Amino acid sequence: MMNTSRLLMALFAAAGLCMAGGVSAQTQTMSKEARDAAIKHAEAQYKLDKATCDALSGNAKDVCVEEAKGKEQVAKAEADAAFENTSKARENARTARADSAYEVAKERCDDLAGNAKDVCLKEAQAAHVKSTADAKVDRVASDARRDQVEKTTAAQREAAEDKRDADYRVAIEKCDALAGAAKDGCVRDAKARYGKS
């Protein structure tokens, strides 16, 4: 049972490290052609990996096939995330990684029996729930940060406009002390300086 816990911890730790790499890719975008090429590469790699699995038998083969499937699904989801560059697509990629780790862990649990297998499956399920929940929280936080930045930018833009309007009114008021061509020139300069027509 201790070995099962260590195995699951190692699987999900590896998934976490890979997810950390995905986080840094948030600001990178991928062209449609590059995404399509990455997907084709993932499909080709799956075929190679699956062919390697065919040399195995029993549960070792099942584990190998799940690893190959998961690797393909994760690669495709990460390509989509890099192409779409949205918090939802990044969440989907992290969820694909968690799903893959979960499926592999379940297959590995098949080597066990009785309570040890039950515990193994529950640990795998718990790790999966935690990983997908973290992915959702990160997406929501990312969306909230984006919304906050948009609101702050809008407020800054509005504040700058209000300040410019206030300065314009002061300048026009100063022009009222003048007369004739001097006043006309003062008003024209104030309009040009503060972007008024």
9 and 105 both lie in a single domain? yes
| Cα distance between residue 30 and residue 25, in whole Å | 10
Identify the band that residue 6 occupies on the pLDDT scale cut at 50, 70 and 90.
low
- Predicted local confidence at residue 20, as pLDDT: 41
Identify the band that residue 1 occupies on the pLDDT scale cut at 50, 70 and 90.
very low
14 and 110 both lie in a single domain? yes
Mean pLDDT over 97-118 rounds to 96
108 and 184 both lie in a single domain? no
- Predicted local confidence at residue 122, as pLDDT: 96
188 and 137 both lie in a single domain? no
- Identify the residue with better confidence: 50 or 20: 50
Burial of 79 (0-12, 13-18, 19+ CB in 10 A): buried
Please provide residue 196's backbone torsions phi and psi, each rounded to the nearest 5 degrees: -105, 155
106 and 171 both lie in a single domain? no
- Domain interval for residue 127: 2-149
68 and 130 both lie in a single domain? yes
Domains in the chain, number: 2
pLDDT over 60 (residue 190): yes
Confirm if 136 and 167 have CB atoms less than 8 A apart: no
Q: Of 16-20, 39-43, 69-73, where does mean pLDDT reach its minimum?
A: 16-20
161 and 130 both lie in a single domain? no
* Buried/exposed 3-40: b ≥16 CB within 10 Å, e otherwise: ebeebbeebbeebbebbeebeeebeeebeeeebeebbe
160 and 144 both lie in a single domain? no
pTM: 0.65
- Identify the residue with better confidence: 9 or 87: 87
**Average pLDDT over all residues of the chain:** 88
